[in-house]
Amino acid sequence: MRRVLVGIKRVVDYNVRVRVKPDGSGVMLDGVKMGINPFDEIALEEALRIRDGGGADEVVVASIGAEDAQQQLRTALAMGADRAILVRSGSALEPLAVARLLLSIVQSQEVDLVLLGKQGIDDDHGQTGQLLAALWDRPQATFASRVLVQGNQLEVSREVDTGLEVIQVDLPAVVTVDLRLNEPRYVKLPDIMKAKRKPLQVVDADQLGVVTEPTLRIVATEPPKARTKGILVKDVDELVDVLRAKGLLS
């Protein structure tokens, strides 16, 4: 296998408490710590392990979004990726538009394997990998908890409701990864310094000839309702009376 492409997304850091804008038009991002989508970080770690084990020659990372996404791409380069591509877009894109842009990169870079996180922690769509596989007309394996390269095939273990499912797919293919696949490595200071010298290509989304017009419009964003304070009851009889008063028991 010659080249692995890993898609990464810039999201609010998973340790940060998300706050909704006062006007309900979206989530507050000003001054908020941003990072790589955790599922995408796991996908990158797996790609690096495949390359380091002799299963691939090169790992390329790609992100689609604002100029600020270069920071996350540099982090990916510090983890060990060989080079990076930023498809610059000034607006939020839906999964289908992202899949079309990734397809353009896949075709221009002659990619053998695409590794993506199973979903983004910001919108939780979980659609991009499946859409990319359909547009590319190549096999897909989703929610991977184990990936094994076997020549021109992959053996992928997936966690399903009834246990583990093991499938084989021919390369080229698209794989989306789950949390239990691996634990991403820590980035060290020398690697951060080396990453500054690695190539990072920036291309505008408009130059790729892809339709990115949204088909959905977000009407409003609301925070979850505050949880009501619980009450203490003395015994089971009082608990039953309270539940019956709330209409939860008949």
Q: What is the pLDDT of residues 98-152, one digit of tens each?
A: 999 999 999 999 999 999 999 988 888 889 999 999 999 999 999 999 999 998 9
Asked if residue 38 is part of any domain, the answer here is yes
In a domain, 230, yes or no: no
User: What are the tens digits of pLDDT across the range 24-55?
Assistant: 778 888 888 889 999 999 999 999 999 999 99
Whether residue 148 lies inside any domain: the answer is: yes
**In the chain, how many domains are there?**
1
CA distance 72 to 66: 11
* pTM (2 d.p.): 0.85
Q: pLDDT of 197-239, one tens digit each?
A: 999 999 998 888 887 888 888 888 888 888 888 888 899 999 9
197-231 b/e (C-beta count within 10 Å ≥ 16 → b): ebebeebebeeeebebeeeeeeeeeeeeeeeeeee
Residue 206 counted as domain residue = yes
Task: Report the CATH number that the domain containing residue 22 is assigned in CATH.
Answer: 3.40.50.620
| DSSP-assigned beta bridge partners for residue 34 | 12
